[in-house]
């Protein structure tokens, strides 16, 4: 497999390389108290939309809190962190 290729699942979709734990870890280790989906996406080198979906899922599980700064700006942080 070359550097630019990624693994695919049985349906031909790209296999996700970044775990939920990786996402929570980069937020925890951030120098900021809260981050945007764009910041997380840039940090873990994923597209923003899939990162935003993962952040929403982590929020639903209680792993993250979220707040809206404006209609288009959402920030994410670890509860109690």
pLDDT in tens, 41-53: 999 999 999 999 9
Contact 80, 74 (CB under 8 A): no
Q: Can you tell me the mean pLDDT for 15-33? A: 90
**pTM more than 0.85:** no
- The helix/strand count (H/E) of the chain reads as 3, 2
pLDDT of residue 5 exceeding 50: no
Tokens of 34: 């809260």
Distance from the Cα of residue 38 to its chain's centroid:
9
């Amino acid at each position: 497999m070359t550097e630019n290729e990624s693994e695919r699942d049985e349906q031909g979709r790209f296999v996700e390389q970044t775990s939920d734990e990786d996402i929570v870890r980069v937020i925890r280790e951030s120098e900021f108290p809260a981050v945007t989906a764009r910041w997380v996406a840039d940090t873990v080198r994923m597209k923003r939309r899939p990162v935003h979906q993962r952040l929403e899922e982590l929020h639903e599980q209680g792993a993250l809190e979220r707040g809206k700064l404006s209609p288009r700006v959402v920030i994410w942080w670890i509860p109690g962190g």
